[in-house]
Amino acid sequence: MSAYIPVIGLEIHAELLTKSKVFCTCSAEFGGDKNTRCCPVCSGMPGTLPIINQTAVEYAVKAGFALGCDINKFSTFDRKNYFYPDLPKAYQISQLYLPLCINGLVPIEYEVDGEKKTKNIRINRIHLEEDAGKLIHDDLNGVSLADYNRCGIPLIEIVTEPDIGSADEAKAFVEKISLLLQYAGVCDCKMEQGSLRCDVNISIMKPTDTELGTRAEIKNLNSIKAIGRAIDFEIYRQGKLLDMGKRVVQETRRFDDNRGETKSMRSKEDAHDYRYFPEPDILQVNFTDEDLDAIRAKLPEMPYKRLERYLADGLSETDAKIIVNQKILSDFFDTAVKAYSNPKSVCNFLIGEMMRRINLGEVALDNLPFTAEQFAKLVEMADTDKVSKNDAKSVFRTMCEKGGDPEEIAKAAGLLITNDTGKVLEVIEEVLAANEKAVAQYTGGDQKVFGFLMGQCTKALKGVCTPKVIKEELEKKLKSL
């Protein structure tokens, strides 16, 4: 097989986190009993009309800002016509001619064989549209049922230029988009629930070719892994065809996750003619500079800003990136630091202990049994010698297992350091009494036995006192002998 250059463009659909749907007031929440979150408008009853949800427009513009886009001050909606039972109006309200956002740029970082690489991926456009319903096929009874709850959920479609050259780049890009949208607060990007979906357009060409190859479109990939696998398979499939002197057919394909292969869905001849035309029921969207400034001002802190902040707080670049690259982790970290303002210390415990347990699968980041404040308290206790560094780890294990307040856990386990001098002196007396020989050696000038005596005391005073205090008291006592 000769070497081909893959040329890849992505279309990413992201559901917006608005409370209500894009063209009616129904709830836009995920799930719900079948057909309970729909009304005459979103279920396409005769005579109904769409009303544009301004929050959805705002979220789409926020996404545009997050992805470095220009915002069209004058934007319109269009109808995309096709028949499908999950689309009750038989047209989708979308934007073809004048989308809300255009000309974006998203930098990505990825690794090839351990080597770090960066690249800029251009965004062609982001437009706002409505989602369709869901079909439930009951093969047993030979019926198909329609659930319209998802009809009218606001979606943005992010369309890239064909700037992506490999599965690794595509995966890094989708991860980056997911991160940016989450930071912008416009999408939860749960691919497994379908709130982020990806179509891949891919063709291959020889380095000497001047024209792009024929592309295939792979529809509805619902995990980062599937995106990578589908692209790799498609590069292999198209390359094999060309090697055999055959041609790649322009078509729509779907990815079979079990077999790791793409399969033809429909050829170009069967492709829909969507008969787009301007949506007459919705007036154009106009923005003034002030409108756009107001939306930009509402954009939360984006990842690169947060990275800057963490570096300024003294975190290492590696650590800072680990934290920033998961919004939920970063939010947890920020909350913890708010409760205990020692970012480096919180970071060390977070990366060292918490991430270790998360990677082991003992706890899940999106379902932690303890709060960020409780986590911060534990770090602070370790830093202020209320619990030994080692014991802090064991307290944390309990927090991961059962949750709860670290101080109470430490107390119950007898790990809480109180520095009770009465108790310390008592223990020292006991240890010295039980080790007369060693004491004699020490007073005889053999300082080496101090370590032994210190060890005995520490063992008996575990969780009560810091070694520092024990050492002071022990030295004092021995000198007085």
Other C-beta atoms lying within 10 Å of the C-beta of residue 456: 19
Residue 350 DSSP code? I
> Do 414 and 463 meet the contact criterion of CB atoms below 8 Å apart?
yes
Note whether 145 binds other proteins by CB under 8 A: no
Q: Choose, by CB under 8 A, the member of 19, 36, 45, 293 that binds other proteins.
A: 45
- To other proteins, the closest distance from the beta carbon of 83 in angstroms equals 6
Q: Choose, by CB under 8 A, the member of 36, 90, 263, 389 that binds other proteins.
A: 90
Rounded distance between C-alpha atoms, residue 102 and residue 128, angstroms: 12
Rounded distance between C-alpha atoms, residue 208 and residue 287, angstroms: 46
Note whether 276 binds other proteins by CB under 8 A: yes
Note whether 280 binds other proteins by CB under 8 A: yes
Note whether 386 binds other proteins by CB under 8 A: no
The span of 4-12, 45-53, 287-295, 412-420 binding other proteins (CB under 8 A) equals 45-53
Burial pattern 324-362, b for ≥16 Cβ within 10 A else e, equals bebbebbebbbebbebbebbebbbbbbbebbbebbeeee
**Cα–chain-centroid distance for residue 106?**
16
Note whether 40 binds other proteins by CB under 8 A: yes
Site string for other proteins, 283-312 (x = CB under 8 A): x-----------------------------
Closer of 20 and 398 to other proteins (Cβ):
20
Closer of 284 and 421 to other proteins (Cβ):
284
- 3-state percent helix, strand, coil for the chain, nearest multiple of 5: 40, 20, 35
Note whether 5 binds other proteins by CB under 8 A: no
Rounded distance between C-alpha atoms, residue 173 and residue 183, angstroms: 15
Note whether 282 binds other proteins by CB under 8 A: yes
Closer of 274 and 450 to other proteins (Cβ):
274
The span of 38-46, 195-203, 350-358, 410-418 binding other proteins (CB under 8 A) equals 38-46
Note whether 132 binds other proteins by CB under 8 A: no
Note whether 196 binds other proteins by CB under 8 A: no
Phi, psi (5° rounding) for residue 244? -85, 5
Q: How many residues bind other proteins (CB under 8 A)?
A: 28
Rounded distance between C-alpha atoms, residue 308 and residue 312, angstroms: 6
Rounded distance between C-alpha atoms, residue 129 and residue 113, angstroms: 39
Q: Choose, by CB under 8 A, the member of 109, 281, 308, 446 that binds other proteins.
A: 281
Rounded distance between C-alpha atoms, residue 213 and residue 238, angstroms: 10
Note whether 97 binds other proteins by CB under 8 A: no
Place of tokens 């930009």: 296
Closer of 40 and 260 to other proteins (Cβ):
40
Note whether 91 binds other proteins by CB under 8 A: yes
Name the amino acid, one letter, at 415.
Answer: L
Q: Choose, by CB under 8 A, the member of 21, 37, 62, 79 that binds other proteins.
A: 79
- To other proteins, the closest distance from the beta carbon of 61 in angstroms equals 19
Residues 180/121/112/232 CA torsion (nearest 10 deg) = 100
Closer of 276 and 452 to other proteins (Cβ):
276
Helix (H/G/I), strand (E/B), else coil: 480: helix
- To other proteins, the closest distance from the beta carbon of 86 in angstroms equals 9
Q: End-to-end distance of the chain based on CA atoms, in angstroms?
A: 86
Note whether 233 binds other proteins by CB under 8 A: no
**Nearest partner of 303 among 262, 336, 333, judged by Cα:** 333
Q: Choose, by CB under 8 A, the member of 19, 247, 275, 459 that binds other proteins.
A: 275
**Nearest partner of 24 among 159, 197, 152, judged by Cα:** 152
The span of 36-44, 122-130, 202-210, 449-457 binding other proteins (CB under 8 A) equals 36-44
Note whether 139 binds other proteins by CB under 8 A: no
Residues 6 or more apart whose Cβ sits within 8 Å of residue 123: 67, 68, 69, 101, 102, 103, 104, 105, 106, 158, 159, 160, 161
Rounded distance between C-alpha atoms, residue 358 and residue 361, angstroms: 5
Q: Choose, by CB under 8 A, the member of 1, 2, 33, 46 that binds other proteins.
A: 46
Site string for other proteins, 47-76 (x = CB under 8 A): xxxxxx------------------------
- To other proteins, the closest distance from the beta carbon of 251 in angstroms equals 18
- To other proteins, the closest distance from the beta carbon of 285 in angstroms equals 11
> What does the binding site for other proteins look like in residue numbers (CB under 8 A)?
40, 43-52, 79, 81, 83, 85, 88-91, 146, 273, 275-277, 280-283
